[in-house]
Structure 1
Amino acid sequence: MRKIKVLIVDDSPVFRALLSQLISSDPELEVVAMAEDPYQARDLIKQHNPDVLTLDIEMPKMNGVKFLKNLMRLRPMPVVMISTLTQHGADATLTALELGAVDYFPKPSVDSTAEMVNYKKLVNEKIKIAAGANVASQPLGSMSESISVPTQNNKTEVIAIGASTGGTEAVKNVLSALPAGLPPIIITQHISAMFSPSFAARLNENSDIEVKQLDVNRAPLVNGCAYVAPGDKHLVVIRRGDRLYCQLDDRPTVNLHKPSVDVMFDSVAETVGKNSIGVILTGMGKDGAQGLLSMKKLGAKTIAQDEASSVVWGMPRVAVELDAALSILDLNKIPKQICQYLAAKD
């Protein structure tokens, strides 16, 4: 079996050595070269033709985001960003994901042996996922067509959207095409707690819908608004009297994730049942697939993103295999389908 060829781009000799050691410990991965800046990386890409690039954001001469922008225009390839867990790092990382990076991982904040084992597992898993990613799934500038406000002919109370790898852009694509005034939307995206506020802010800037991270324990669901789970808490829906609320949930990880899409979808199925719409977008693994099936069994309308438009067709694929999706669609067609479901008579 051919190994996945990795090129490391980082200006720190110490971190390059550490990362090379961690990656090389995996029998499926091979570090073919290391570069200390983007100019060196450009020549090494031509020389070694790597499968995956790990790219530091903060570098002298040219920062990683600027290099990524040039790279994705001239030679698109799977890139995993290396970010600092700071506000600046969050903004730069989300920009990199917007430009076409598949994923990111942080620089390690501790050097304990136990934590380093977990860090190695995280890094190598993300590189392997990136190697199989569909980097051409959403060309830059590709947007869903705008849609007029549908006349709601049914009792849909909430729209739930779940995503993982590739999801920051996929969710933005869907929300930016949806009109204002829809039933409340709840969103679970696998993302770190440091990055989720910036993610919610970017969604809000690019949408007619008011988008905010759920920063309080509980909030009433309001039409025309979308609520994003913070990166370290599950988001669930509860009913108090005749009102729906979204609420934070601090139970342990589910499907290795917190927030978990399954936790959100299960709560929607239990609380709202048929008066809901569930959407599962690009992402690795299976989180959300079973929950989407629970929603469908209770009469909810359910949508899965198709393989061709997904960066990683993992979560939607499992949902499709479970027959959890009523519709399997290209990302750009999902907003229109949501509105058609809202307009359909019960």
Structure 2
Amino acid sequence: MSKLKVLIVDDSLFFRTILSNLLIKYPNIQVVGLAGDPFEAREKIAALNPDVVTLDINMPKMNGIDFLKEFLPKKWLPFVVISSRDDIVFEAMDAGAVDFVEKPTMQPGKHLDEFGREIAEKIKEAAQATATSAKKMPSPPKQAAPAFAVASRAAKPGFIVLGASTGGTEATSRVLKQLPANIPGMVIVQHMPPVFTDLYAQRLDRETKLRVKEASNGDMIKPGHAYVAPGDKHVVVEKRGAELVIRTNEGEKVNGHRPSVDVLFDSVVKFADKTTTAIILTGMGADGAKGITALRKRGAYTIGQDEATCVVYGMPCVAYQLGGIVKQAPLDGIPAALIERLNSL
């Protein structure tokens, strides 16, 4: 098996050296070059033809976001952004980055080793995105598409769960932006580090008609609200009479993830019925596939993102193969499919 060729772009020579030394430990990864700014990166991409590029955001001469906006329309290449705890990372995702990781503090020891494992895994996933989706997700429309309407102004009965991983921050955002405020309550699992989940929820709250927050233990699920699972915590939903209540826990990782989509979906199986809708979006691996299949068997309506619009057609693919998907749709067709279902109830 050939090694994945990686170019590291960061204005700090110290960090470039640290990251290069961390990645040397992984036999399937080869660091082919280092660049200190986007201009040097452009030259080295042409000369070295890397499979994946790691990219800092805050750099002299040109920042990482402007570089993505300039470079990606000309050539598709998977970028993994390395960022401090700042919601500017979501601008990088909007600009076409495949994934991101939090930049570590420069303290030697366990934290750096954990960062090395995380960035190595993200690089492998990003390379998979190239193999399965050289077609990227379609560019967002210049003007936001009009939101689909639920027939009645009153909140519809039911409940929605959604899971996503690689490429999912942008995919989930695009779905939610087209939904009206009177949809049933929704719980979202997006594989994402702590702190970023709260920033992501705040961003969705600003940009959509829904009230979006990071889920907290004991939250009562309300219509028109969406709850994003906190990083490094599982989220389950309990039925208490007529109410649905969120519980969080720090149990073992499932499918390599915490939060896990399967953990959320499995918790809903106990009370799912035809008013339950489950959605699975782009992501590597199989997290959520078994859970959404179990939900379909209980009568839930299930929607999976199609291969053509996935950054990585992994989770929705396995779900489809298991027979867990009622409706397969392109990303921008998912809001319409959801609203059509809600209007039929």
User: Offset of 1:155 from its aligned partner?
Assistant: 7.7
Question: Matched residues in 2 for 1:3 and 1:244: separation?
Answer: 48
2:297 — aligned with what?
297
User: For the structure 1 residues 145 and 306, does the alpha-carbon distance in structure 2 shift closer, same or farther, using more than 3 Å as the test?
Assistant: farther
User: For the structure 1 residues 266 and 54, does the alpha-carbon distance in structure 2 shift closer, same or farther, using more than 3 Å as the test?
Assistant: same
Q: Is the 8 A contact 1:78 1:135 kept in 2?
A: no
User: Offset of 1:139 from its aligned partner?
Assistant: 2.9
- Report the secondary structure of 1:50's partner residue: coil
1:130 — aligned with what?
126
Q: Give the unaligned 5+ runs of structure 1.
A: none
User: Offset of 1:156 from its aligned partner?
Assistant: 4.4
- The amino acid across from 2:80 in the alignment is V
User: For the structure 1 residues 41 and 261, does the alpha-carbon distance in structure 2 shift closer, same or farther, using more than 3 Å as the test?
Assistant: same
Residues 1:55 and 2:51 are matched in the alignment: no
User: Offset of 1:116 from its aligned partner?
Assistant: 4.0
Question: Matched residues in 2 for 1:141 and 1:307: separation?
Answer: 18
Q: Give the unaligned 5+ runs of structure 2.
A: none
Runs of 4 or more off by more than 6 Å in structure 1?
152-155
2:177 — aligned with what?
176
- TM-score of the two chains, using structure 1 as the length reference: 0.91
- The amino acid across from 1:183 in the alignment is P
User: For the structure 1 residues 334 and 7, does the alpha-carbon distance in structure 2 shift closer, same or farther, using more than 3 Å as the test?
Assistant: same
1:244 — aligned with what?
244
- Report the secondary structure of 1:68's partner residue: helix
2:222 — aligned with what?
222
User: Offset of 1:264 from its aligned partner?
Assistant: 0.9
Q: Is the 8 A contact 1:53 1:80 kept in 2?
A: yes
User: Offset of 1:76 from its aligned partner?
Assistant: 2.9
1:281 — aligned with what?
281
- TM-score of the two chains, using structure 2 as the length reference: 0.91
Please give the per-residue CA displacement for 1:13-32, whole angstroms capped at 9, x wherever unaligned. Answer: 22212222232333322222
RMSD between aligned residues = 2.2
Question: Matched residues in 2 for 1:94 and 1:154: separation?
Answer: 30
Question: Matched residues in 1 for 2:155 and 2:16: separation?
Answer: 56
Bigger CA drift: 20-29 or 192-201?
20-29
- The amino acid across from 1:328 in the alignment is Q
- Report the secondary structure of 1:182's partner residue: coil
Q: Is the 8 A contact 1:56 1:83 kept in 2?
A: yes
User: For the structure 1 residues 306 and 47, does the alpha-carbon distance in structure 2 shift closer, same or farther, using more than 3 Å as the test?
Assistant: same
Overall identity of the aligned pairs, in % = 44
Match of 1:107 among 95, 103, 110: 103
2:88 — aligned with what?
92
Bigger CA drift: 69-78 or 333-342?
69-78
1:141 — aligned with what?
140
1:308 — aligned with what?
308
User: For the structure 1 residues 317 and 80, does the alpha-carbon distance in structure 2 shift closer, same or farther, using more than 3 Å as the test?
Assistant: same
Bigger CA drift: 60-69 or 30-39?
60-69
Please give the per-residue CA displacement for 1:5-51, whole angstroms capped at 9, x wherever unaligned. Answer: 21111112222122222323333222221111111112112222222
User: Offset of 1:110 from its aligned partner?
Assistant: 6.3
User: For the structure 1 residues 154 and 180, does the alpha-carbon distance in structure 2 shift closer, same or farther, using more than 3 Å as the test?
Assistant: closer
